[in-house]
Amino acid sequence: MTNLTTQQRQYAERAESVATEFSDEAYTWHGEVPWNNLARLVEADLYCPSISEKYGGQGLSDLTAMILTEAVGRSCPDTGWFSYMQSMVAPRAIDLFGSEALKEEYLPAVTAGESIISIAISEPEAGSDVGSMATEVTETDGELICNGEKTWVGCVPCGDAAVTWVRFPEGLGSVLIPYDDPGVKIEEVHTNMAGYAQTHFSIEEVVVPKSHVLTRGKEAFKQQLVSLNWERLGSSILTVAWAEAALEQALDYASEREQFGQTLDEFQGIEWKFAEMYRQIETAAALVYQSAGGAQGHERPPSRLQTSTAKLHCSQIVENVVSEAIQTVGARAYQQGHPLEYLYRFARGRRIAAGTDEMQLNTIARALKDEGLPAVSQR
């Protein structure tokens, strides 16, 4: 990281220092929210950095939220994941697009580390093909009514509400749906490979107060896609952090384990693994920070070309790096309950969540065809 401001560097140092406290409990979570770690981040004034100060955040940049995600995710993958989700995804959308009433109602509890908000986009018949979603909000006598269903949504059992993508008569938009609304019915709770719940819920005749509309109208879908670009950079840096965690574990283990009368890290074949893992991590981190550094908030967001390239690259290198770390450790790392075994399962989801690898490839190709290669002057 070479382009951080002094303030960002100091923030990173504070985050790294607090994150060391998480290592005892790291890899012990089995689908629960690491509430005590979130509370520690809140105490240290580090949680939800990109949420407005007025609602308990720090009013800092999205890049700062990424710095937090990397520092924390390296020490505790789960705390990193929640930090990213609550700084860069649904609560960020409320902060950016929500009414004053909505922000006051939901954000202070989120930034206090006491409430979780999900993002609900996917539907049983609309996964990658988001544009074909069927959940709709209709207007009758000035009243907004939502009907539909969402699936694979994270953090429903532990959460309070979902930023929900919907279809208005004039096009796609988003609203906030609280889970305690009587029209919200949990249909099925799946458990994913990492042990987290992913929920299918239906929405029946839910009345949406005007204050709960986040985006609507001509610009709505564009606004949502911009926030997705930042989300993708958040997901990218999270996976970089996990790859770093895996490499650290492999380095530690190989410095102690002896075979053929020497430690593993003295074999050139193992040294080359470390070099190769680091090459992948460092190119990934450079790509992510370069994409974020050239952007400025939501006024000058990172481009779809950069964010899709970063998301694709990072989601793939983490799988490879964790796999190579497992290879370095051998059978121990393949056992249930080993940190690397858990990381492998956790990391695998990132090639599907927040846009699959294939959708990132489609976006990259489309951007290249529409806009051509970025000019040297834009580097």
Ligand X SMILES: Cc1cc2nc3c(=O)[nH]c(=O)nc-3n(C[C@H](O)[C@H](O)[C@H](O)COP(=O)(O)OP(=O)(O)OC[C@H]3O[C@@H](n4cnc5c(N)ncnc54)[C@H](O)[C@@H]3O)c2cc1C
Give the footprint of ligand X on this chain (CB under 6 A): 118-122, 127-128, 152-154, 192, 198, 349, 352-353, 356, 358-359, 362
CB nearer ligand X, residue 45 or residue 358: 358
CB nearer ligand X, residue 15 or residue 161: 161
Region for 257 from its dihedrals, namely left if φ exceeds 0, alpha if ψ lies in -120 to 50, beta otherwise: beta
CB nearer ligand X, residue 121 or residue 287: 121
Residue 201: CB minimum distance to ligand X, A: 11
CB nearer ligand X, residue 16 or residue 357: 357
Residue 155: CB minimum distance to ligand X, A: 7
Residue 98: CB minimum distance to ligand X, A: 18
Q: Are 202 and 149 a contacting pair, CB within 8 Å?
A: yes
Q: Is 279 helix (H, G, I), strand (E, B) or coil?
A: helix
* N-terminal to C-terminal alpha carbon distance within the chain: 16
DSSP string, 294-323: T-BTTTBPPPHHHHHHHHHHHHHHHHHHHH
Torsion, Cα of 278, 62, 309, 156 (10° steps): 100
CB nearer ligand X, residue 89 or residue 245: 89
CB nearer ligand X, residue 96 or residue 347: 347
d(CA 52, CA 90): 14
CB nearer ligand X, residue 63 or residue 130: 130
Residue 210: CB minimum distance to ligand X, A: 24
**Overall residue count recorded for the chain in this entry:** 379
Q: Which residue is nearest to ligand X (CB)?
A: 127
- Widest CA span in the chain: 81
Residue 152: CB minimum distance to ligand X, A: 4
Residue 261: CB minimum distance to ligand X, A: 43
Contacts 24+ apart (CB under 8 A), 181-190: 181/206, 183/146, 183/207, 186/156, 187/149, 189/156, 189/157, 190/152
203: β partners: 148, 184
Torsion, Cα of 116, 204, 187, 94 (10° steps): -20
- Please, which residues have CB within 8 angstroms of residue 208's CB and are 6 or more apart in sequence? 137, 144, 145, 146, 175, 177
Residue 346: CB minimum distance to ligand X, A: 8
